Structure 1
Amino acid sequence: MKPFKNKVFCYDCGRQKMLFETEVKAQTFMRFNNEEIESVNGYAPIRSYFCNVCCGWHLTSKMGEAYISPKTEKILEEYETAKRLKAERKALKLVQEKEKKEILLKIICIAENNIKIMEFSSGSKYAALFDETVTLLEKIKSIKANFKGSNQRKRQIEIKLSLLAEKFRNSRESLM
């Protein structure tokens, strides 16, 4: 028996093990050196198994009835789970962004319609629409979403509101 000839550090189990290129070589070593290993260690290898980390065959004295997943498989499963969760979060974020954009578009359209109505109205209806449009503009600014042309439409709403505010102030002053 030459135990140090093919010993390597197995990163899967975290200790040194004998590594064989093929299952036949591992079985042959086990068959011819089983008694000598048992006399030295007190236990003998019972079976051989393939190690994915070392890309070779190891010997073990543990029964192989119950499959024990190696560390690499556990790490790969955790990686796949993390990858799947990341994809789910990304999909959820895209859906939320789409909903935000739809809400923003609706609010901008309502504000633009209010401005069109205010351009041709006066009195108490004008004041109510103006207040509503100002609150809509605040909502538009608070929503952290954009779509093509949204910034330009936001600026146009602000400009028109400031012009209409002056018109509203002037009309109130002329009534007094």
Structure 2
Amino acid sequence: MNAVYSCARLGAAAVLSAGLAACQAPSGARPSSSVESAAVAPAGTAQASPVRPLQNVKEAADLRIFLADGKAHPGWTPVPLKPSGQLYVRADAIIDRGDLMGIQSAADQAGNGLLVLILTDQGLAKLQAATAANPGLRLALVVGQMMLAAPAYAAPIREQQLAFPVGSVHNAEIAARSVAGVR
């Protein structure tokens, strides 16, 4: 089952320079352990909005992808999960907004929202290197100051398009428009 997360901001004491936010899985939802959660291409989606090119505007939201794990690592930031548990997030981002060619909101076949990132060749190379060197972890997707998803991956990611489960199609559309710099 793909994990669907709703998020709330952390207090300032728990935030490092990365400005991460805590996630909460809705009741009955379990975090995903499948590679497909982070590496689904939009071809597996039921509906998708047009790809939005990124605008270089001041109002555009920042986007970052961090490595994360359920186990502690030296120097990684602990992020409390609600109602219980903890996720440990590496403070340096693998991918940022500059590594994207475009962004798209979509829905999977069940109608759940997906945020689809289209990586540049350089962004894909960075993601491949990071996931090859760190197998079996999670990719924490942060838009602005909110962690929207942290799906697991089992093998190095080799796809130029990544689809993250973000709950509803409305959530996906808001995130896509924010990162693209479109009002």
TM-score by length of 1: 0.21
Quick one: higher RCO (CA 8 Å, sep 6+), 1 or 2? Answer: 2
For the pair shown, which has the larger CA radius of gyration, 1 or 2? Answer: 1
Structure with greater helix share of residues: 1
TM-score by length of 2: 0.20
